[in-house]
Amino acid sequence: MMVSIGDLTTKEIPQWCPGCGNFNIISAVKAALAKVGAETHNTVVVSGIGCSGKSPHYLRTYGFEALHGRVLPVATGIKLANRKLTVIGMGGDGDGYGIGLNHLIHTCRRNINMTYIVHNNGIYGLTTGQASPTTIKGTKTKSTPHGVIEQPIHPLALAITSDATFVARVYTGNLPHMINVLTEAIKHRGFALVDALQLCPSWNKVNTPEWYKTRIYDINKEGHDVTDKMKAYEKALEDVNTGYAKVPIGVFYQVQRPTYDDELPQVSKQELVEQDMRHIDLSKTLKEFE
């Protein structure tokens, strides 16, 4: 039985600020889940800590609100235990590109069959406005009153070099595009990173709707070949942080390769969670100790 957007809605009132990009991300996730025919009981949304961390509470699915930066290992454990579940990870740019960046690289190369949406607003919102790994160099924030010194991270380029099989960027100001890309990401067999450029009206006064309006363009409308890794990499480096005037969105890279669990004979016949654990015969195993 396919879910409707209504089935996915909880009565909990979102805690986000008015104008926050998270509202549209949640709307897009609901719409995409409905489009792919997901079921509420077979969907798990895993979040970390930050504004994005609240997401599971506003979706009537299973959820796990984990620790800051640890979305991906928790989601990996869930997916490997029961591959029948649709697993969606959500974290912010601090969560996924800062404290938890290590896990992103390894989850990319593992090709865990799940979707990871990074709510990338270029700032720490929940902790009231400190620089994040994607804050533009020079930006003055509470933790960088004299301006950020480091170069911002290039998450899509990082994911492509780490052999993620689906790498995309969306903009929370463009809901229809976001729904389409998220639908493709959830349908993708393998690890899908969706970097969601997110408005933060409370703390990010640089990347405003006006700022994005003149810069965003959809690379898929320009005949970008999503299977061309080098082209995808070039596009992934093409943003205002590297001297370009424009910010590309769309699907940058998509290829097929076996998922991590495809190469696990342990789960080829039955999910781990379905396997009999009450009749384990250790006699052969113990004999080796004689």
Site for another protein contains 23 (CB under 8 A): no
| String marking each residue 166-205 x if it binds another protein according to CB under 8 A | ----------------------------------------
Site for another protein contains 158 (CB under 8 A): no
Please, which of residues 76-115 interact with another protein by CB under 8 A? 76-82, 84-85, 102-103, 105-106
Give the per-residue SS3 of 192-256: EEEEEECCCCCCCCCCCHHHHHCCEEEHHHHCCCCCCHHHHHHHHCCCHHHCCCCEEEEEEEECC
Question: In angstroms, what is the minimal distance from the CB of 148 to another protein?
Answer: 26
Collapsing DSSP states into helix, strand and coil, what is residue 270?
coil
Site for another protein contains 6 (CB under 8 A): no
Q: Strands 114-120 and 191-197, how do they pair? A: parallel
Site for another protein contains 278 (CB under 8 A): yes
Give the per-residue SS3 of 51-73: HHHHHHHHCCCEEEECCCCCHHH
| String marking each residue 221-260 x if it binds another protein according to CB under 8 A | ----------------------------------------
Residue from 30, 70, 154, 177 in contact with another protein (CB under 8 A): 70
Give the CA dihedral 128, 142, 22, 176, nearest 10 degrees.
160
Site for another protein contains 275 (CB under 8 A): yes
Q: Are 186 and 32 in contact (CB under 8 A)?
A: yes
Q: Are 98 and 121 in contact (CB under 8 A)?
A: no
Q: Report the interface residues with another protein, using CB under 8 A.
A: 10-12, 40-42, 44, 46, 49, 54, 56-57, 60-67, 70, 72-82, 84-85, 102-103, 105-106, 264-267, 272-273, 275, 277-278, 280, 282, 284-286, 289-290
